[in-house]
Structure 1
């Protein structure tokens, strides 16, 4: 992927989730600094390895928590294979988030 070096991992994550899930809200927080020095990430220097994401999308309607998380993991599979170590996911529909009636 040619853009890998041009965009931060956070930007790529946000773009992929926004586009594929047609999300109302996508928030991506890099919390890698909290994991610096951990054995699993010591070689990477904890650089863009841990993220919290909040996604609000109609595409989650009718999907249980496991299916929602699987959707996100599937969209980010290339990131997970290239250094993304962990991601915390909060996935809601607009109704669940209080954004619609």
Structure 2
């Protein structure tokens, strides 16, 4: 169940960042979006999954010295959300039905 939750959370974050294009989103907004699906999600959990997506070169994170993070989709992230490239393992993207 934990693996499925992590992978689903990554997809939710990618979708939220896609809707926030071209400006990106702060972690408070992303955390609120994730809590719409998983009410018990923590800010630490969101940060961990954002870091994972950054390591995969799907997003870029701007870490403020005062604390809050801001994330933006990279080119591969946009292509993944728009179903232009294959989904990497570790992200629960639903199959394309159209």
Task: Tell me the TM-score range normalised by the shorter chain.
Answer: 0.3 to 0.5
Question: Which has the bigger relative contact order, CA under 8 A and spacing at least 6?
Answer: 2
- Find the structure with the greater CA-based Rg: 1
Higher strand share: 1
